[in-house]
Amino acid sequence: LIDLNTVTHMYSITENIGAVFTGYAADGQSQMHRARYEANIYRDKYGQQKVPVDWLCKRIAGISQIYTQNAEMRPLACCMMLVSYDELLGPQLYKADPGGHYNGYKATSAGAKEMDVRKYLEKTFRKSNIFSGAEAIKLAISALADALDDEFSPTELEVGIVTTNKIFRKLTDAEIKRYCFEIKKT
């Protein structure tokens, strides 16, 4: 009876940075709000509209690490991934874990099936590591489908993208269904 449109783990932090989290929803939402706050602080302090995604991930990871040091604070039980597009560096993907560790990636995963998805991605990246936007979306959906070992409904899936226009957006259910259909055809 839950309206699926009200349940999400994917958010826009700024116009050009998107985020997804795994773990406790309340902790993820708290971290997402903190990321938005930190992005606003950066814009006010440096006068730049575009917040560097690597800076934001480092800042969020640092805050998460502080939570592990103080006895009066409970560490956040979530992992956050940030995505953006940089004019010089191209697509950017960063992941911050609850312990404060962060890295940049070409592709990664988080959650219960993290290792299965990573194996699939590593196997695919050995063949080629240059993908178009559509190919990257299909790869992500295929990796998830392979790890889950069963059929899943496209309505149970959230896909967010940042293209060369540097605007983060979530794909609609119709777009996700189209990609799932194309994957099944091949």
Give the predicted TM-score (pTM) of the model: 0.91
Please check the confidence at residue 151 and state whether its pLDDT lies above 80: no
pLDDT at residue 54, rounded to an integer: 97
Considering just the CA atoms, what is the radius of gyration of the chain in Å? 17
Specify whether 24 is located in the same domain as 84: yes
Could you report the per-residue pLDDT of 57-105, keeping only the tens digit for each? 999 999 999 988 888 888 889 999 999 999 899 999 999 999 999 999 9
Specify whether 90 is located in the same domain as 135: no
Specify whether 16 is located in the same domain as 60: yes
pLDDT at residue 19, rounded to an integer: 97
Specify whether 57 is located in the same domain as 119: no
Could you report the per-residue pLDDT of 11-37, keeping only the tens digit for each? 999 999 999 999 999 999 999 999 999
Q: Comparing C-alpha atoms, which of 41, 50, 2 is closest to residue 25?
A: 2
Alpha-carbon distance of 11 to 9, in angstroms, equals 7
Specify whether 20 is located in the same domain as 99: yes
Residue in the block written with tokens 């990796």 = 143
Phi and psi at residue 35, in whole multiples of 5°?
Answer: -65, -40
Specify whether 80 is located in the same domain as 168: no
Q: What is the mean pLDDT of residues 126-131?
A: 78
Alpha-carbon distance of 84 to 15, in angstroms, equals 9
Please check the confidence at residue 5 and state whether its pLDDT lies above 90: no
Specify whether 167 is located in the same domain as 83: no
Could you say which of 57, 77, 105 is where a domain stops? 105
181: how many CB neighbours lie within 10 A of its CB? 10
Residue 106 three-state SS = coil
DSSP class of residue 74? Answer: P
Q: Comparing C-alpha atoms, which of 84, 65, 85 is closest to residue 76?
A: 65
First to last CA, the chain: 34
Q: How many domains does the chain have?
A: 2
Phi and psi at residue 134, in whole multiples of 5°?
Answer: -65, -40
Alpha-carbon distance of 38 to 174, in angstroms, equals 34
Specify whether 157 is located in the same domain as 176: yes
Alpha-carbon distance of 43 to 26, in angstroms, equals 26
Burial (CB < 10 A; 0-12, 13-18, 19+), residue 120, is: buried
Residue 117 three-state SS = helix
17 contacts 84 by C-beta, under 8 angstroms: yes
* 120: containing domain: 108-185
Q: Which residues on neighbouring strands pair with residue 18, listed in sequence order?
A: 12, 83
